Structure 1
Amino acid sequence: MKYISLNEQTQIPIIGSGTNTFGKVGRQYQAPLNHDTSEIISAISLGYRHFDTAVSYRNESVLGLAIEESVVPREDLFITSKIPTREPYLESNAMIHEVIQGSLEALQTDYIDLYLIHKPTNNMDEMLNLWHILEEYYKKGTFKAIGVSNFHEAQLQYLIEHATTPPMVNQIESHPGHWQDDLIAFCQQRGIVVEAWGPLTNISDEAKDVLQDIGAKHEKSWAQIALKYQIQRDVVVIPKSHNPENQAANLLLFDFELTPEEIERISAL
């Protein structure tokens, strides 16, 4: 596994697992929880150590249960969660603290490796107030790293200019057909690590054909090529699969390298 440093104490595995449909009836996002931990336990057994959840997913407790069930020590796992920015979560500072404590309790942990603002609002003063609270937990060590999700350049710049601690991560949608090269360059130039959510979603058949053609030369699938392109440019990927075979395949990215010509073809998708 390759790691990227977020700060002097914290490194993030460059491959993680999304979880937004884990532990839910029918594996549907809006479905009730059934607290099935099998997908997470499978992922851990295959070598995943990085898991991404959120308050909005309603399943932090499922990940917490899997952590308790796992034979892997908590300190060997990297856990991300996110605070929502819709009502009622931001109605007061007291509510923000309550939400954060709820994340810690649901995850059955006394610290979280990475905590993110899930989505920006149009009120950047509101975002800055929320960020200052996250900074408090970071300074106490309750959060090992803090960041944001779905922020564009101007929103990031506002936090950089007004915060004591700049964002360490920006988790964004990035996949073939929507690489977000400019935003990724903006972040990386400022020391902000980029994570790609949905790295294997909304991909056209034409893009899959190109990726598969490249994959045939490396004996890899189109999905592995799409993920490899991201990690080869130091973008963290968090694909999600309920299938153990696909979970395993998503980790098999370190035994080959894309050539400059292949990278050029992929970047043009």
Structure 2
Amino acid sequence: MTSIPNVTLNNDVAMPQLGFGVFQVPDDETTAAVSSALKAGYRSIDTAAVYGNERGVGRALAASGIPREELFVTTKLWNDDQGYDATLAAFDTSLEKLGLDHVDLYLIHWPTPARDRYLDTWRAFEKLLADGRTRAIGVSNFQVPHLQRLLEHTGITPAVNQVELHPALQQSELRAFHAEHRIATEAWSPLAQGAVLGAQAIVDIAGKYGVSPAQVVLRWHLQTGNVVIPKSVTPERIRQNLDVFGFELSDDAIAAITGLDTGTRTGPDPDSLN
């Protein structure tokens, strides 16, 4: 089994730096995909209430026989369930679907600023943390102003901010804010849904190192310090995405990939999604 390094979160919880995502995987396909990932060596699984596949994740975890303490399970609160009481109820539902007595990381999926509920939502997250029902709490898709407001008006700094991040959208200002406040940066859509894999710089680096373009980009994330959660339902691709610890990109290769930043999103703008 590949040994995956951990990132130590700001509350001293260890989180695998490379995990497995199940965005857009139908529930009836999720169990097989997660089972393949666990067999390959992944121990961190990332899902969300809105994905509709928490039960599929739970089935795979239960069937794996892997001790619970060796697993790191993340799920996320959907926008419609923001608010103190609604958050607590939604968390109960997610936990029941996963078949677990706690999760390792619980995230606010989007800030949804027009609803203006994320402060009350965060207070519910703080209660879940205090009650031991989640080992760490964080956010997803929060911009710097959202994070600043959270830090000013609540008591606990998010452990993680999971955001769209890939060579075409490197989020340097946001990552600098994270570093200043010890918030781990986690990348969703780490390959830009494949859009960056044909970039000549990445193709050339892949040829030099004898690896795939996807492996180059995942290695870039790891060396940049990001937590990364690639998704696939193909067993061979699942294994290949994990096989990124046997080589190290040079400073020149890192610089070439850094030069691909165009600020281009593949997903929604967090300031406008509600």
TM-score (norm 2): 0.89
After superposition, the Cα gap between the structure-2 partners of 1:146 and 1:59, relative to the gap in structure 1 and judged at 3 Å, is same
SS in 2 for 1:65: helix
Alignment of 1:84 onto 2:75: no
Q: How does 1:130-145 map to 2 (within 5 A)?
A: 130-145=121-136
Whether 1:2 and 2:5 are equivalent positions in the alignment is yes
Match of 2:263 in 1: none
Larger RCO: 1 or 2 (CA < 8 Å, sep 6+): 2
Residue 183 of structure 2 corresponds to: 192
User: Does the CA contact (< 8 Å) of 1:171 and 1:195 recur in 2?
Assistant: yes
* Structure 2 counterparts to residues 222-241 of structure 1, below 5 A: 222-241=213-232
Asked whether the 8 Å contact 1:128–1:159 carries over to 2, the reply is yes
Q: Tell me, yes or no, if structure 1 residue 62 matches structure 2 residue 56.
A: yes
Q: Partner amino acid for 1:39?
A: A
Q: Single out whichever of 206-215 and 52-61 deviates more from structure 2.
A: 206-215
Relative to 1, partners in 2 of residues 1:7 and 1:189: Cα closer, same or farther, differing over 3 Å?
Answer: closer
SS of alignment partner, residue 80 of structure 1: strand
Secondary structure at the counterpart of residue 250 of structure 1:
helix
AA partner of residue 136 (structure 1)? K
Q: What runs of 5+ residues in structure 2 fail to find an aligned partner?
A: 261-274
Aligned mates of 1:13, 1:205 — CA distance in 2: 24
Report the count of equivalent residues: 257
The equivalent of 2:94 in structure 1 is: 103
Offset at 1:124? 7.7
1:82 deviation in Å? 0.3
Contact kept, 8 Å, 1:16 with 1:48, in 2: the verdict is yes
RMSD (Å) for aligned C-alpha atoms? 1.7
> 1:74 — aligned with what?
68
Which of 11, 18, 22 aligns to 1:15? It is 18
Moved more, 134-143 or 116-125: 116-125
Q: Structure 1 residues 14 and 36 mapped into 2: Cα distance closer, same or farther (>3 Å)?
A: closer
Which amino acid letter does the alignment assign opposite residue 248 of structure 1?
R
Q: Deviations over 1:213-260 (max 9, x none)?
A: 111221111111111111101101100011111111111111111111
1:51 counterpart (45, 50, 54): 45
Query: Is the Cα contact below 8 Å between 1:176 and 1:203 reproduced in 2?
Result: no
Match of 2:154 among 153, 159, 163: 163
2:212 pairs with one of 218, 221, 233: 221
Any idea what SS the aligned residue of 2:242 has? coil
Whether the 8 Å contact between 2:30 and 2:57 is mirrored in structure 1 is no
Deviation at 1:37, TM superposition (A): 1.2
Q: Take 2:44 and 2:32, find their aligned partners in 1: how far apart are those partners?
A: 16
User: Which amino acid in 1 is paired with 2:9?
Assistant: L
Distance in 2 between the 1:36 and 1:18 partners? 10
Following superposition, the deviation at residue 93 of structure 1 comes to 3.3
State which drifts further: 11-20 or 201-210. Answer: 201-210
Q: Which runs of 5+ in 1 are unaligned?
A: 25-32
1:95 Cα deviation after fit: 2.4
Deviation, structure 1 residue 208: 2.9
Normalised by the size of structure 1, how large is the TM-score? Answer: 0.90
Q: Does 1:37 align with 2:28?
A: no
Deviation at 1:203, TM superposition (A): 4.8
Aligned equivalents of 1:161 and 1:205: distance in 2?
A: 37
2:58 and 2:98 in contact (8 A); partners too? yes
Q: Which amino acid aligns with 2:74?
A: T
CA contact (8 A) 1:150 1:170 kept: yes
Aligned sequence identity (%):
39
Amino acid at match of 1:170: N
